[in-house]
Every structure is written in C-alpha cells, then in structure tokens.
Structure 1
Amino acid sequence: MCILSINDDATAPSLRDKLEDAYRRLEASHQAVLRLALRLDDGDAADDFRGIDPDAHIRRVLGQMHAARYDADAALCGLVYGETYRPTPTPSAMAVEMQRRLQRNGGHSARPAALPAVASFAAE
C-alpha cells in the first residue's frame, strides 16, 4: 500500500532519472576541464583569458567537476540503495553540504572546502 503525502510529487524525477542527469552534468564538467587543460597545453597565458580572472576560472571549472562527481556518486548510491542518498555526517560530507547550501542561497562556491587529513599521528 502506497500512501502519498501532500509533499509527494507524481512528476518528481526517479532515481534513475537523477542518475542519468548527474552523469550528463559530470560529462559536461569533464569536457570543461579538458578544454581548459588543452588551452593551457596550447600555450594560453593569463592575458589570453579576456575579461575573466584565470585563477578564479580554474577554481570554478575544477570545483564544478568535483561537485558533479559528488552528485554522480550520490545519485549512483541512491539508485543502488533504492532511496535518496544521505551521506554519513563526516567532516567531508558536512563541508560538501555547506557548499551546496551556499549555492542554494545564491552564492557560488568555486573552491572546495579544505578537508581534514586522512590520517593523524598521535605522539607516543
């Protein structure tokens, strides 16, 4: 028996639709990184980025790729898990969620937050 609440939307995308969309965005972000890398390999310098700050552009393109990678991974986890993916509240997951909140608030976080070290060494 399925009971729909007032918040349920019959036209909401399925988990499969979300996965396909996430992978399309990931592919587009990979293409943007590839175009940028090829421009740099062709010899483009800061002056060749007319009207934009090349450092900010590099951070934005790479940030979008990493955000798209996370979204694709989350969509894949959601599909195989069978419901919307909810990350474990690790420092990394919290940083990603805070960046996503910035985007929802209208800001654009181009640079991923600094993540904690993977391993720590205690004094013996």
Structure 2
Amino acid sequence: MNSDRVLTILLVEDDDGIRTIASVLLESEGHHVHAAATGEEANAWLAQHQPDVLFADVNLPGIGGAEVARLAREAHPELRVLLTSGEAMPDPAWLASGVRYLNKPYDRRALLAAIESTAKAAA
C-alpha cells in the first residue's frame, strides 16, 4: 500500500466470506477494521465511534449500505465512503456527493487502491 497512514475502517458486509477476506486484506496493510454484518450493527457502532472510511455493501438485509452511509454522514459530514456491490450500479447522486464505488468482485489490488483513493478524497 502506498499510504503511510493507518486508517480505521468500518466494513459492512453481510457475506461472511467476503467480510472475512476483506478484513484480513485491510488488516494485513496495518489498518484497524471493525467488521459489521448488518446496517443496524454498523449504525450502533457508528453511534460511538468515527472511522476514517466507511466501506459498505449496497445490498444488505434491512438497512442497506447507502442508507448507512447517509446516516453516518449526517453525524460525520467529513466521513469518507466507499460503497460496493456486485448487482447495483452506482447512483449518480452518491458519486456527486463524493462517495466512491467499487464493483464486486474485486481483488486485493482493487480493494487497496479504492480504500486509499477514498481516504484521500474530499468528503
């Protein structure tokens, strides 16, 4: 990774395998990762913590990743957001608000590059 900054990343992904792999990849780069399986779990964590980057799947049961991002940015307007999906296309409104988007499936290089560019982007 090119970044010399350790990030706190909230990873919201309902697929256990993807969540585990993404967590391991990000932690192997020195980042602190809090992994949540649901939007509700993510919102509860966000009520008491502020990550540098929110990395969330768009399609979650219950509260989806885009809604988690919207609520999180209400509380933390400077929060950097990276959304991902293998099904949904990025909403132009997300992109206009500075939200980044990563298509699934992604590999290690794509994930790390997306996290780095998201962290450097203006919120």
TM superposition score category, shorter chain reference: under 0.3
TM-score (norm 2): 0.26
TM-score (norm 1): 0.26
Higher relative contact order (CA 8 A, sep 6+): 1
Q: Which structure has greater helix proportion?
A: 1
Q: Which structure has greater strand proportion?
A: 2
Of the two, which has the highest radius of gyration? Answer: 1
